[in-house]
C-alpha cells in the first residue's frame, strides 16, 4: 500500500557548528574525544568563543537521516522541537528546503534552539558538545498520528532517551506505528547513551516496541556488556527481529532471526570527517528497505551513503544520493 512518507524520523533538532581541531585542543578544553558530551548554556558559550572558523547547518542525528532519505529521492518526515528564535528558523528552513515534512510547533520563548559544537580532528574523529535547549521539550503532543500512520517506518535516535517526556512521546509513536501496521526503528546512538539506558533499550527490543535496531560494534558490545562481538551478535539475534551493526572500514553485519549477512564497506578516497556516518548509513538502509530492496542491497546502499558523507566536512550529503545510487547500479 502506498504511503505518504517512506521514513519518519524523530530526534533532537540541533544546529551543528563544525570546526577543525586537534587532540591538544580537546585535552585543554576537557573534551572527551569521539563522544557526545552534553553541556549547559555557559559551556556552550565558552566553546563557541574558543573554536576556530566553523560551518553552521541544521543537524541532529535523526535530522541527518531524514536529509539522507530525501537525497535518495525518498519521502521523509521529521518530528523535533526547536524554539521560536533565529536558529529555530534556520533549522526549519533547512530541513524543509531539502524536501522533508516538518510541522512540529516551535517553542515560544526559552530555552533556545539546541546547538552542537563539533570538533573534527585530523583522523576524522568528531567530538560533539551539545546544548540541548528546546530539544528536551518534545512531548507526546508533538506526535502527529496521521504522519506516523502514513509512514512505512518511524525511526528515532537513542539520544532522545534522556528526558521522560520524550520517552513517552517515543512510546506513543511506536504504539501508533504498530496500530497502523507500520515498523518502528531506533539507533543506539552512542556507547555512553547505551551505558545510561542499557536495561531500557533492551526492554524496547524485547517487548517489541522496536522492530529494527541500528548500532555500531562498540555500542552493541556495550549493550550486552561483553568484549565478544560474536556473543553480542548472538544475543541481539534473540532480542530483535532486525539489527544492523556497523564496523567502520570493516563493513557491517545485518542480523535477523534466521540470517546473517556480512557486507563490505564502500571504498573511499580519503577519510575527512565521520560526522553523520551512522546517520547516513541508517538513511540508506531505510531508503532501501522502504523501496523493496533485499537486506544485502539495503546494506550496500547504506554503506554508499556513509562513504559519501565521511569524505567531506559536515553531516549531510554534498551530492545527490539518488544520482550516486543510479551510477552505482545497486
CATH of 5-11+61-106+136-328 among 3.40.50.1980, 2.40.50.140, 3.40.1190.20, 3.40.50.2300: 3.40.1190.20
Beta bridge partners of 127: 119
Residue 1 has pLDDT above 70, yes or no: no
**Entry pTM:** 0.89
Within 10 angstroms of residue 88's Cβ, the number of other Cβ atoms is 22
For residue range 258-283, what is the model confidence (pLDDT) as tens digits?
Answer: 999 999 999 999 998 888 899 999 99
Q: Phi/psi of residue 126, each to 5°?
A: -120, 140
- pLDDT at position 330 is 66
> Are 127 and 37 a contacting pair, CB within 8 Å?
yes
Q: How far apart are CA 146 and CA 175, in angstroms?
A: 13
The residue whose grid cell reads 543537524 is 59
Mean per-residue pLDDT, 188-194: 91
For residue range 192-243, what is the model confidence (pLDDT) as tens digits?
Answer: 899 999 999 999 999 999 999 999 999 999 999 999 999 999 999 999 999 9
For residue range 140-182, what is the model confidence (pLDDT) as tens digits?
Answer: 999 999 999 999 999 999 999 989 999 999 999 999 999 999 9
Q: How far apart are CA 34 and CA 270, in angstroms?
A: 19
Amino acid at each position: 500500500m502506498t504511503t505518504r512518507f517512506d521514513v519518519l524520523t524523530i530526534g533532537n533538532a540541533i544546529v551543528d557548528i563544525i570546526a577543525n581541531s586537534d587532540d591538544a585542543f580537546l585535552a585543554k578544553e576537557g573534551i572527551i574525544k569521539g563522544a557526545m558530551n552534553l553541556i549547559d548554556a555557559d559551556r556552550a558559550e565558552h566553546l563557541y568563543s574558543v573554536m576556530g572558523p566553523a560551518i553552521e547547518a541544521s543537524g541532529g542525528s535523526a535530522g541527518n537521516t531524514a536529509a539522507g532519505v530525501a537525497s535518495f529521492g525518498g519521502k521523509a518526515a521529521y518530528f523535533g522541537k526547536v524554539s521560536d528564535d533565529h536558529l529555530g528558523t534556520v533549522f526549519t528552513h533547512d530541513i524543509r528546503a531539502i524536501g522533508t515534512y516538518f510541522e512540529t510547533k516551535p517553542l515560544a520563548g526559552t530555552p533556545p534552539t539546541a546547538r552542537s559544537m563539533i570538533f573534527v580532528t585530523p583522523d576524522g574523529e568528531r567530538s560533539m558538545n551539545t546544548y540541548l535547549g528546546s530539544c528536551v521539550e518534545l512531548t507526546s503532543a508533538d506526535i502527529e498520528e496521521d504522519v506516523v500512520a502514513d509512514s512505512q517506518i518511524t525511526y528515532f535516535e537513542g539520544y532522545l532517551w534522556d528526558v521522560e517526556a520524550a520517552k513517552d512521546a517515543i512510546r506513543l509513536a511506536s504504539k501508533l506505528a504498530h496500530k497502523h501496521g507500520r515498523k518502528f526503528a531506533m539507533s543506539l546512538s552512542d556507547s555512553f547513551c547505551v551505558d545510561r539506558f542499557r536495561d531500557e533499550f533492551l526492554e524496547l527490543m524485547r517487548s517489541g516496541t522496536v522492530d529494527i535496531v541500528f548500532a555500531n560494534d562498540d555500542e552493541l558490545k556495550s549493550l550486552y556488556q561483553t568484549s565478544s562481538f560474536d556473543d553480542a551478535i548472538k544475543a541481539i539475534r534473540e532480542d530483535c527481529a532486525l539489527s544492523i551493526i556497523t564496523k567502520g572500514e570493516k563493513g557491517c553485519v545485518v542480523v535477523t532471526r534466521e540470517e546473517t549477512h556480512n557486507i563490505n564497506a564502500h571504498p573511499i578516497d580519503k577519510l575527512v570527517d565521520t560526522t553523520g556516518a551512522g546517520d547516513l548509513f541508517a538513511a540508506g538502509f531505510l531508503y532501501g528497505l522502504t523501496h523493496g530492496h533485499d537486506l544485502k542491497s539495503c546494506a550496500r546502499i547504506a554503506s554508499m551513503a556513509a562513504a559519501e558523507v565521511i569524505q567531506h566536512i559536515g553531516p549531510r550529503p554534498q551530492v545527490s544520493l539518488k544520482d550516486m545510487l543510479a551510477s552505482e547500479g545497486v
